[in-house]
Structure 1
């Protein structure tokens, strides 16, 4: 039975912290009706089946080979035992302890896959069913004093047959409804509302969902059925979904409300009715991703009918009755010329992995599909667009994103008078059509990542319907005959929402008089949530920088501010008082302020989650002056006594004079100052400090998980902001540092464990400190990276032999390192690394032969050697009895492969890339070394 919570239970397992710690790789695949090897591998990689089986196998091998993985196959229907055997054989590439978790409605599936453990969900108990209904149907999640309504509710719960999905949908539908609605549902015979696709009753689930669907308004029904265009388990972007609804006129707009506001209400209704679920929020607390339950998706397909089709295959024949089509792999299809009545042409897969499509398809679409309202040509590999695009007069949504070679748009695009959405994200367009201002109905113009765009066209100020303008480029290098849009054009665009990036390109022509035109340019944009201001060049007058940035003061509702390349001497008043003027800030980034001596007080911004300060040459302290804080911005006493209370990520990069982070509470008592220190950085999780040579302290952060410290003062310490009190225990997931001796000095005994350790510039004089560090954390360190170790000559005595639980070792860039030193005298660290699984050696000039000590690495599964001086591989190679993969890259001194490679039964894959002597020798069938490796299942020579 569907809706019992199989997927929900699997998600709880998948996301459990213990599971995350136990498995190196976790993969989730929604299988549904496609239990083919190729389809599953494609979903494991997130790529398209159009890549072909061989490429997909290679991608998956890279992900799981030798690694302990958890693979969840959700919603499996296929009972074919042979298909499962084929998949299982391939999955054996993973490390010991790997697991596959499968969910299905069919016991026969569990039998076909020869499951070791089977858990059968039988629905909720009566008591838990009522508790769930209470939470969904009643305010505050508690039953009211109206006993009559409670009795009706308990009868309703019985109709839901203890199925969680039914209870959630019905409870959310009845929430806030008059008692007559409750009585109506109780008396309804759900069996009369329909049956499943095969004509059999679905135990009340589908009829229950239909009951809730039938009580949606006609507009909401249209919005819901349109969701059938997305494949099952597809991650839907809320912004895209709302714009698609808008393009098809699914909305009832009245009372002077904007289309976007109505769309947002519709989305909230479907979410509250449980037709949409699994939402994800961005840094600003806005919903940006969602999914549909597979049963809800089945209902959407049913009510959408035969006019809607979502294709996930490149082989297809389309019915001319189809009106709405989504497709993953376009290929070269001739049937597009026959789809003259199509209204929607949509891509339904992540664009970054799609192969380029045949440009003839675009000509066919533009010439024949004249009734299109939605046209999605994202990641088509387009270099140009046909002029016939301008003939699609009904078009409302045009997506040209991720076409990296698209440099110019046809002027005919300005004929699309009904166009509402134009998305050019990450294209290479150099300029927008001169007549763009004629698109009076355009509401959303996406330009993020258009790094080649030199200027805006004249007349942008007349496009008052714009709600989204993600980037505004001010006058880059253009011909003298080209007229460009001016910053002042933004003044009339009062409805802008979301993100606005203002870029001053090279060749910016503003003089001092023109700069004054931008005064109060943005403070009427009440719906903007992020402002980015970026200078790519230094203007002739520093005063122009100052006037421009002062004039670009945003509205107080802004949540994100990023300013890069400001060269003015005077800091604008609004930047100097961010905490006073912008209490809602969630994200702040300041980069390249050459004349900034004092940072604005940021520590009392109670919503700030991300702070990046970089290339600020004159900043000495990051401080918080509580006396300057506005009482209006502090809701309680505890807010006053918190320093960066919500900060999650702090990055301090290239701050040559930075000495510390401190709070200014001089007028308060000593007890108050200590309380401030205790409550400082309570939620900080990621801290990156790089090239801050004068910095001597790092703030106490009890929740810290990721720390990257490079180029800091030798007296650098981890302590409280204003005191020397002992630190709480800390366990780091990831530590990156360039001076090992600092680790103990920074943390002392407060550091209880490290998962992954990266050391830059590891050298002999660090060995004593490294040995102490490795001994202290031998049980926790699973991964070790050594980068740029040009002064390192040997690993003997460095303490690496103490890392008995080490799984991954990577050594990069060392011209003097001899990995074999110590082999003769028994001092080699290799014999202690019994659990090492993966070894990656790159750019080691002295690596001519593999050390004898490597023979002790009996758990090694993956060996990668790149850009080394390796001349031969040893005949003792079969001693590596667990080896699955050997990868040799740019090893140009390697002349041949050893005879012993024939005797490695565990070896499943060999890759030889850019090794000039081996390429011909390993080529099938005539290469001299081919007989040695022909038994290896997968051999790749490049």
Structure 2
């Protein structure tokens, strides 16, 4: 690992020296390079034996075998003309020739070193190797120090402070520097000479160099198409689904366990079941996935379940509060909870968790995956599904896909026989098949396969309960550069979704990525990632809206392997690991750290720390939940870890960055994101000359960037999205020509001629042509003289930018003239590779000519473009999937062109269309059309606050529809007509083109503020509709046709009278309804009679129905009812006797119903006997606030804070509590971690 870092730094500095020729004085440059060369010569000779032992021992502090790449790099450097010039200046050209020959000799003995490593297990070689490792790490830091000094001199040369330059480059300073560094190098040489004297005992022999091929990333379509293939699990999937949906199961909540050895695909199988669209999604109201792993902490599991259900992180809540909040969310609902990778053998812990989860509706299920049958039996499952290895046919099918190119499978009998012998060693385990198959993919001949089978695989003692030896073999065959990259991933928690780009930046920071001068290290890193993905070291990739891989996971067995091979080099601090070894290099806090006081003191004694990584949990906690710490913590970190290369301080609450941060001269990666109190960065930060990644995202109070930011000459990734208070960009930013990520460019407000010279304009972007990913330019001007500056941004040459967001300053555009905006936008022409374009507050009337050339667009967004009258012609863009239109006041029609009757598809790829706040939008085209085209792939349509909209293209294949304050009745009726005439287009699928009934795929519908009810004919087709929300609109007729409906929400209507609007037949058709919510219905006097026939109903909520006076006696017929909530129904007088017959009722909530609450008082209320049998009762009445007390009177409230009972939907805000004084009586309906005690 460290040797590879050295080689990378040599190549980088040599490249920089060539680029900066003429900037750095020849003498100074020669001095630096010669020192670097001399040190390289000494320690590179010794690493051959290091490789031997490293590959033998799994308890090492470096990733295995980095020698070949290092040797190759040294040979290349030694032959460079620049170094030959250095040799001539110092008179040591003979030394250079010797170096080149020595390194070639090293290359020739690598194979022998690797072979001997597996035979030696004595203490002598262990001690020798440990001494060598320490020396290599120290040498690596010395190399980096020399490299940094060279960078510093380059920066100083470019500085205009001539006096400082002259002083710095005086002969005295050169001499002093040379003497000082020469002394360090001499000591290092002597140290390595002493180590070298012992290497003779290992008797390494030269062997002919075997060509090593560095495999480029395969075509993505090939590598990724097989990476996610699931073969041979169809029967298992159907069996588990059958058990989960078993109608004969009588328990409210029952457990099913999947058991099998690691790598069989238990998690994959559970994932297939969990994501099933046809049966599972329709059957369960809630679905939750929790990775449990080694630590079966009931509180943590409850937190994860609650977070999944509420989509909010519950932080620092007591266990009782967590349980109450969770039960309020899940009780009475039919849920599926997957507990993945469970290792708990403590029956008491399981019983505690199971008791918390027992309030689910009948049919709720917990699906457990585990490697241990004992663990499974502790859960008392209704069924144990023992997962076996793949049968021979399916195993061969998977192996074929992984090991051979399509169409190049072996045909001759002997080759097939070898392949089958290899396959036997995989014992049907998919993970082993994938990894071995991925390894053999690069061995093309039968001879190579035969040698692998006889020499490598035959030595593995494989058994059916442990595939780790097979995985280790795959690891052993990784290229050295991939080994250290994979091992580094042990720092992340199990089951964590790792950000791909961020990981590559981390690899770069540690020097793991080797690249040629004509390559970008991040591109090479992407190849590394794809290679590891192909070989199944990574899996479960997640893609962003543009189709790019953004995140991934590591299989839990692979995570175990990563921990094993990295040894003490990488350490994760958690409840089990509190002591850090002094020679630890990389440290992570896993997924939990609440206070800096939890950082063990032993960490500060590990002076060679290269990585300090904070918990991944902090990525998701809101900014106001910072880790508890103080500024002295960061000063101590900076003082302790002077060799650090990656420092993560995100979301720590830090307010001031110590100026001493400049001492971290090795630092490449600094994460300060989500620290909302940071307003300024010290200018000393620009002395971090090696810094590549600076993350400042969501530092919302950050006012400006360092004025001398141009000195960060290695900066590649500057993340400042969410820095809403930034006022401008500093001058000199455009000098950072290596910059690739600049998520946000802030222009100064005001006229261009009034902007201070210290603030940069768009011209700073001119030379930043390496920018990629997202770029947001904010505060564009709507003035005449902006065009020339905007053109200077040179966006057209930035071909790697995927997303471009252009934001104009908010001002009265009527005073500026729209033509200026037309011209300025024309000047901001991007490259045709652009995939996403967003325009905010654009004041022009027409769009630029270049927009129609952006045929690669995937997403197009317009927001608050007040003068926009129509959209550019996008209907034939082949890749366009998402359109968002909002706040377009002048938009009357989407298109000003008449569509021809061509056979080409209308918006062929569009999947998501979102239109809102377009008050004058009337239709897609001007005039009435006899026929309307259909969107062939539109699945999600959301239209709100477009009151004049009447005409719209057809959308027969929707899966989600939301309409608010608009009407598409005409389109809905036309679709019903076209249904019978066959005018709708077919949907192309992988198998065939099929005709489906209009809206038959619709599963979600929300209708708000509509004057007319949905057409009855339309409801007949909604055979897949599961969720229907009706807000402020009439009730439609034909509800009985919604045979798949599970959730119905009717609210906010002054006209709805459920007792009269629907007859009993409508209710009787709702045979699958599980949840019903009546909210803010002032005309609701009693529950509709037909409701008594909905025997499937499990959850009933009645809120703010002021006229409701009684619950009918027939409520006893709701035999499946599990959860009943009545809130703010002041005239409700009593509960019926029939409520006592609801034997399934688990939870009753009554709030803000004064009459009813009085009758339900415990033991003494007239209705208490009717509800006393219900397991979970929550009865509360908010009391009126008392007169404001004085300061002294407030103190008892503070003392009684712990007495507050918490409950409910976690919506109570701090502001709501500031006037509450009687804390002992208040029942908060909020989440304590969002509340500050007044």
- Scaled by the length of structure 1, the TM-score of the pair is 0.86
The secondary structure found in structure 1 opposite 2:795 is: coil
Partner of 2:697: 425
Partner of 2:994: none
Partners of 1:909 and 1:367 in 2: CA distance: 56
Among 997, 1003, 1014, the residue aligned to 1:743 = 1014
Among 20, 24, 43, the residue aligned to 2:281 = 20
Partner of 1:552: 828
Among 598, 609, 615, the residue aligned to 1:333 = 598
Among 163, 173, 176, the residue aligned to 2:442 = 176
Change over 3 Å in CA distance of 1:162–1:696 after alignment to 2: same
Which is further off, 615-624 or 540-549? Answer: 615-624
Offset, 1:792: 4.2
Offset, 1:851: 7.0
Offset, 1:757: 1.4
Change over 3 Å in CA distance of 1:161–1:781 after alignment to 2: closer
Q: 1:793, 1:818 within 8 Å by CA — same for their partners in 2?
A: yes
Which is further off, 287-296 or 684-693? Answer: 684-693
Offset, 1:262: 0.6
Offset, 1:498: 0.4
Partner of 1:633: none
The secondary structure found in structure 1 opposite 2:894 is: strand
Q: 1:624, 1:643 within 8 Å by CA — same for their partners in 2?
A: no
Offset, 1:446: 1.1
**What RMSD over aligned residues (CA atoms) do the two structures have, in Å?**
3.7
Structure 1 position 786 matched with structure 2 position 1050? yes
**Structure 1 residues 488-531: Cα deviation after superposition (integer angstroms, max 9, x where no partner):** 111111000001111117xx6x8533432211620000000111
Structure 1 position 343 matched with structure 2 position 603? no
Change over 3 Å in CA distance of 1:338–1:572 after alignment to 2: same
Structure 1 position 35 matched with structure 2 position 296? yes
**Structure 1 residues 804-824: Cα deviation after superposition (integer angstroms, max 9, x where no partner):** 54332333445xx14334x7x
The secondary structure found in structure 2 opposite 1:213 is: helix
Among 1004, 1018, 1025, the residue aligned to 1:734 = 1004
Partner of 1:166: 432
Among 87, 102, 110, the residue aligned to 2:376 = 110
Partners of 2:896 and 2:976 in 1: CA distance: 12
Among 1092, 1107, 1114, the residue aligned to 1:831 = 1092
Offset, 1:776: 2.9
Partner of 1:215: 477
Partners of 1:281 and 1:438 in 2: CA distance: 35
Among 645, 663, 668, the residue aligned to 2:908 = 645
Offset, 1:108: 1.6
Change over 3 Å in CA distance of 1:852–1:750 after alignment to 2: closer
The secondary structure found in structure 1 opposite 2:686 is: helix
Partners of 1:927 and 1:418 in 2: CA distance: 52
Partners of 2:528 and 2:1203 in 1: CA distance: 66
Offset, 1:844: 4.2
Partners of 1:109 and 1:190 in 2: CA distance: 32
**Structure 1 residues 175-198: Cα deviation after superposition (integer angstroms, max 9, x where no partner):** 132324312221135475689xxx
Structure 1 position 352 matched with structure 2 position 620? yes
The secondary structure found in structure 2 opposite 1:271 is: helix
Offset, 1:35: 2.2
Partners of 2:381 and 2:473 in 1: CA distance: 37
Partner of 1:755: 1026
Partner of 1:470: 743
Q: 2:1019, 2:1038 within 8 Å by CA — same for their partners in 1?
A: no
Change over 3 Å in CA distance of 1:721–1:714 after alignment to 2: closer
Partners of 1:618 and 1:925 in 2: CA distance: 55
Partners of 1:413 and 1:927 in 2: CA distance: 47
Q: 2:951, 2:968 within 8 Å by CA — same for their partners in 1?
A: no
Structure having the higher strand fraction is 1
Change over 3 Å in CA distance of 1:512–1:295 after alignment to 2: same
Partner of 2:652: 380
Among 246, 257, 266, the residue aligned to 2:508 = 246
Q: 2:801, 2:834 within 8 Å by CA — same for their partners in 1?
A: yes
Partners of 1:537 and 1:584 in 2: CA distance: 30
The secondary structure found in structure 2 opposite 1:434 is: coil
Partners of 2:972 and 2:1084 in 1: CA distance: 34
Partners of 1:53 and 1:833 in 2: CA distance: 36
Q: 1:892, 1:915 within 8 Å by CA — same for their partners in 2?
A: no
- Scaled by the length of structure 2, the TM-score of the pair is 0.66
**Structure 1 residues 750-809: Cα deviation after superposition (integer angstroms, max 9, x where no partner):** 4435321122213xxx45xx3x232332x3332222232134466443457444543323
Partners of 2:335 and 2:765 in 1: CA distance: 51
Offset, 1:868: 5.6
Q: 2:296, 2:344 within 8 Å by CA — same for their partners in 1?
A: yes
Offset, 1:52: 4.5
**Structure 1 residues 892-933: Cα deviation after superposition (integer angstroms, max 9, x where no partner):** 89875523457533332527485448999xx999999xxxxx
Structure 1 position 613 matched with structure 2 position 889? no
Equivalent runs, 1:221-240 vs 2, <5 Å = 221-240=483-502
Among 276, 288, 297, the residue aligned to 2:538 = 276
Partner of 2:713: 440
Equivalent runs, 1:565-584 vs 2, <5 Å = 565-575=841-851, 577=852, 581-584=853-856
Partner of 1:490: 765
Partner of 1:267: 529
Structure 1 position 711 matched with structure 2 position 983? no
Change over 3 Å in CA distance of 1:867–1:389 after alignment to 2: farther
Partners of 2:1038 and 2:806 in 1: CA distance: 44
Change over 3 Å in CA distance of 1:441–1:142 after alignment to 2: same
Among 423, 433, 455, the residue aligned to 1:188 = 455
Equivalent runs, 1:290-309 vs 2, <5 Å = 290-309=552-571
**Structure 1 residues 855-902: Cα deviation after superposition (integer angstroms, max 9, x where no partner):** 665644334455664687758665655443445667789875523457
Among 673, 684, 691, the residue aligned to 1:412 = 684
Change over 3 Å in CA distance of 1:470–1:917 after alignment to 2: closer
Partner of 1:702: 956
Partner of 1:324: 586
Partner of 1:198: none
Partner of 1:402: 674
Q: 2:898, 2:925 within 8 Å by CA — same for their partners in 1?
A: no
Aligned length: 888
Partner of 1:10: 270
Equivalent runs, 1:85-96 vs 2, <5 Å = 85-96=351-362
Structure 1 position 658 matched with structure 2 position 931? no
Greater relative contact order (Cα < 8 A, sep 6+): 2
Structure 2 gap segments, 5+ residues each: 1-260, 308-312, 985-996, 1187-1195, 1206-1226, 1231-1238
Structure 1 gap segments, 5+ residues each: 196-200, 630-636, 667-672, 929-938
Equivalent runs, 1:781-930 vs 2, <5 Å = 781-792=1045-1056, 795-799=1059-1063, 801-802=1067-1068, 803=1070, 805-814=1072-1081, 817-821=1082-1086, 828=1089, 830-846=1091-1107, 859-865=1120-1126, 869=1130, 874=1135, 878=1140, 881-887=1143-1149, 896=1158, 898=1161, 899=1165, 900-901=1167-1168, 903-908=1171-1176, 910=1178, 912=1180, 914-916=1182-1184
Q: 1:784, 1:806 within 8 Å by CA — same for their partners in 2?
A: yes
Structure having the higher helix fraction is 2
Among 498, 501, 504, the residue aligned to 2:776 = 501
Partner of 1:632: none
Which is further off, 537-546 or 713-722? Answer: 713-722
Change over 3 Å in CA distance of 1:740–1:35 after alignment to 2: farther
Q: 2:1074, 2:1098 within 8 Å by CA — same for their partners in 1?
A: yes
Partner of 1:931: none
Q: 2:916, 2:944 within 8 Å by CA — same for their partners in 1?
A: yes
Structure 1 position 365 matched with structure 2 position 637? yes
Offset, 1:838: 2.8
Change over 3 Å in CA distance of 1:834–1:409 after alignment to 2: farther
